[in-house]
Chain A
Amino acid sequence: MNELLIRNAYVIDPVNGVNGEIRDITVKDGKIVESVGSRAVVVDAKGHLTLPGGIDSHTHICGTKVNFGRYMSPEDMRAGRGRAQPHMHAVSGYSVPTVYANNYRYSAMGYTTILEGAMAPMEARHTHEEFRHMTLHDTMANTLFDGNWSVMEAIAEGDLKKAAAVVAWTLSAVKGFGLKLTNPGGSEMWGFGKNVSCIHQKVDHFGVTPAEIIEYMIRANELLKLPHSVHLHCNNLGKPGNYKCTLETMNRTPDLNDKRQSLYLTHVQFHSYGGSKWSDLCSKSDDIAWMVNRKPQVAIDMGQVMFGKTTTMTADGPMEFNLYRMYHNKWSNHDVELETASGIIPVFYSRKNLVNSIMWAIGLELALQVKSPWQCMLTTDSPNGAPFVKYPEITALLMSRKYRDEELSRTHPDTEKRTLLHSLDRELDWYDIAVMTRSAQAKALGVTGLGKGHLGVGADADIAIYPVKVGDIDPTVEYEKVIKALSQTEYTIKKGLIVCRNGNCLVEGRNTVYWVDPQVPDEYRLENDPEFIKKFERYYSVKLSNYPVRESYMHENYRIETHPDFD
């Protein structure tokens, strides 16, 4: 295969402790190597900012839910149209764009690895079908276990190994990567029109609490030695006063893994609200950040809200119903049999609206108050807070106090009274940003060892070169240049192949789906458990034999085999 020599790159590679060194990067067969021959293709980086390929650790781009967002929003398809080009399909859509639009736009921003935040196990095939066409990205899918009957039954019996066995079987059956809990317990209650109030209310019929589900799943996750930790969307999303629930969830998290966090809390912005109703909503980001700072076992992502039109979509059915009652607009809702739920609603975040302004401020506050960027990742929970194309703007807001103040002055006049953004002086630097957009993600997902998120020898040659010289601009003042530079790379390199140049994608690309396959002892294999088979055949609408996504169904994929210790 081709050899590649990137000359004169200004490299920031936090995993290997490199902060701004001019060096050459050599690539052979899609991997970074010590040296290459004289016939290597040469790319001149001209001293421009060069980072490992971006990783999005929580986004919604592939799957049934996203697709439903597409077909309930024909008006969204009018936005963001692009014509076909030699190696690019025609695209359309803004907040719920077509698969190719996601593919190209992420690549143009220098991203190379994407994690779909919520895949309902029963509907995994759709996610994998869309993954196949994310040709410029390696992909992985978090699999939902929040309302899984078998899991809750095992927890009610107090049988951790059985709960782990259910997770193991499901993950390898649906080719999932991580264990996701969305409003644990709440999505099952939603099947009966109810929700759970916080983590100590018992789920009807099963008699387990969300707190128990979370704790058992954290322990099962570590028992199965999964690369990623439990990925949690806390209970009570978007309710004023929910920060107490979030704090308690964090406080209960055991520290079970020395390589990464034991619990990943996603879109924490939506879980950091004080007050008791919408009219007295306020920011509690300081409490949340304080807790994150003293708990190395948790990591969070921002879930930043940006002003404008977008579409919210989550497996948290009851929350979406509450949103519907506020907006009275079109709404979709779905119950996934024995597993989970979902809902979708288009929204418009307005600067003139106080609640929206507070939400906007909270996301930034979290990122600025969490001391270690390794514990706070930059996301919008795309497209819930904003479509991912807003990442460069968020980066600029975090790097420039001036830009924040200007934007803050354009929000609702009462925002300052309810938030503390105006009091935060911290301005992140390029190194922090590199951590928050790739290295911390790689560490949190446990894929650093698979060659993701760094540029050391042996790593995958996923590289993004941005058209900016770090020494030449002052990001605290010239934030517009930061936005421009990060919106479009000069080169995006995926596995040693230049896939995107100045926003034009050049090849079809090759992509890999990562999934885990925990090897549990025979007596814990669910396919050998007559009781599980009987229940499955009785309650599911599909046959057990039709349920797993066969490997032959998959495109290129990488199986991560783990060997849990069940004794």
Chain B
Amino acid sequence: MSTVTLTAKGTHELYLEAYNVTPDAFAGKTADEIAGLECHEGNRKGKLGEYFDIDGNGGETAADTQIIVKGNCKKIKRIGQQMTAGEIIVESDCDMYTAGWMKGGKVTVKGNVDSFCGIGMAGGEFIVEGNAQNYLGSAYRGDWRGMTGGLIHVKGNAGNDVATFMRGGKIIIDGDAFLHVCTHGEGGTVVIKGNVESRVGGQMVKGDIYVYGQIKYMMPGFKYVDDVEAEAVEGEKLTFAHYIGDLGERHSKRKGEIIYGNIYLKK
């Protein structure tokens, strides 16, 4: 695997849209060619070389390309957007749309990320060691086709609107979340190891939400059914109170059984 190291120079005054910082774009390119790839600072088109020091060449394919991003990336958006393979490690904070519409590979952010990260994700792995802001693993605004696959793991807290219109995949949040978790959920799994304020599973018709802490205000559309033992994260078998809902919604049937969205609250 070849490694390309980018070091942010911090020369951008506005937010930088680094949508080409992906193994797919870097594959088969030398450091000089990578420096010539396009990016946007505000509405001005620029080259990656203007904003980053670039060291190392890309691998033959996206899968053999690893990208390490150093320096302050707090105002850099769209790192790893639409990537299909390979690996990205960002050693600082990142801005919005990091790992958006990702299809494969792995993105690790060692700091915090802003909103809309992991949006519309279809596959791969996205790990955030710090906190995430709003719309983590959600659908694009207005769209009804959200995350369909892959794994998002946030080791800190997340904001509002986690996993809106989720259809598949898994999101694990080690800390807390605030409002709107898995709204309009149609599949997939969300695990929150901390507490949630409220509006968990609103208009959800399918999928699972595990909460280890407390839900301060439960949605009225959910009903307690029984206690179950389940393994939300591999190797952690726990007892949960099982709720079904959202009962205000239409639910499909499979083999005569009605499918509900599930909330599992740790006992």
Contact = CB atoms under 8 A, between A and B. Distances in A.
B144 A76 contact: no
B205 to A, nearest CB: 8
Determine which residue in A75, A76, A329 has the highest number of CB atoms from chain B within 10 A of its CB, and name it: A75
Interface string B139-159: 011111000000000000000
A534 interface: no
B250 interface: yes
A75 B142 contact: yes
Interface size range of chain A in the complex = 10 to 19
Interface string A77-101: 0100000000000000000000000
A193 interface: no
Contact of A75 (B140, B249, B250): B140
18 contacts: A72-B142, A73-B142, A74-B140, A74-B141, A74-B142, A74-B143, A75-B140, A75-B141, A75-B142, A75-B143, A76-B142, A78-B140, A328-B249, A328-B250, A329-B144, A330-B142, A330-B144, A346-B144
Contacts of B143: 74-75
Nearest to A72: B142
A349 to B, nearest CB: 16
Interface in B95-154: 140-144
A72 B140 CA distance: 13
Interface in A146-191: none
Contacts of B142: 72-76, 330
Top 5 A-B pairs, shortest CB-CB distance:
A74-B142, A75-B143, A75-B142, A74-B141, A73-B142
B45 to A, nearest CB: 11
Interface string A228-249: 0000000000000000000000
Given A74-B142, A78-B140, A328-B249, 5 more contacts: A75-B141, A328-B250, A329-B144, A330-B144, A346-B144
Interface string A55-87: 000000000000000001111101000000000
A75 B143 CA distance: 5
Nearest to B143: A75
Nearest to B250: A328
Interface in A316-346: 328-330, 346
A548 to B, nearest CB: 35
B168 to A, nearest CB: 18
Nearest to B249: A328
Contacts of B141: 74-75
Chain B interface size, as a band, is under 10
A328 B205 CA distance: 11
A442 B140 CA distance: 42
A526 to B, nearest CB: 42
Nearest to B203: A328
A344 to B, nearest CB: 13
Nearest to B205: A328
Contacts of B140: 74-75, 78
Interface in A13-58: none
A346 B143 CA distance: 10
Task: Find the residue from B141, B142, B143, B250 having the highest chain A CB count within 10 A.
Answer: B142
Contacts of A330: 142, 144
A330 B141 CA distance: 12
Interface in A294-334: 328-330
Nearest to B141: A74
B101 to A, nearest CB: 11
Contacts of A73: 142
Nearest to B140: A75
A328 B252 CA distance: 12
Contacts of A76: 142
Interface in B140-196: 140-144
Contacts of A74: 140-143
A74 to B, nearest CB: 4
Contacts of A328: 249-250
Interface in B231-250: 249-250
Interface in B244-263: 249-250
A75 B141 CA distance: 6
A463 B249 CA distance: 53
B220 to A, nearest CB: 19
A172 to B, nearest CB: 39
Nearest to A346: B144
A227 to B, nearest CB: 39
A73 B140 CA distance: 10
Contacts of B144: 329-330, 346
Contacts of A78: 140
A447 to B, nearest CB: 38
Interface in B45-75: none
B15 to A, nearest CB: 19
A327 to B, nearest CB: 9
A74 B144 CA distance: 11
B249 to A, nearest CB: 7
A75 B249 CA distance: 24
Contacts of A329: 144
A67 to B, nearest CB: 15
Nearest to B142: A74
Nearest to A327: B144
A74 B143 CA distance: 7
A329 B144 CA distance: 8
A329 B146 CA distance: 13
Contacts of B250: 328
A72 B144 CA distance: 12
Contacts of A75: 140-143
A329 B203 CA distance: 11
A15 B87 CA distance: 66
A331 to B, nearest CB: 11
A534 to B, nearest CB: 43
B215 to A, nearest CB: 25
B264 to A, nearest CB: 24
Nearest to A74: B142
B204 to A, nearest CB: 12
A417 to B, nearest CB: 27
B43 to A, nearest CB: 10
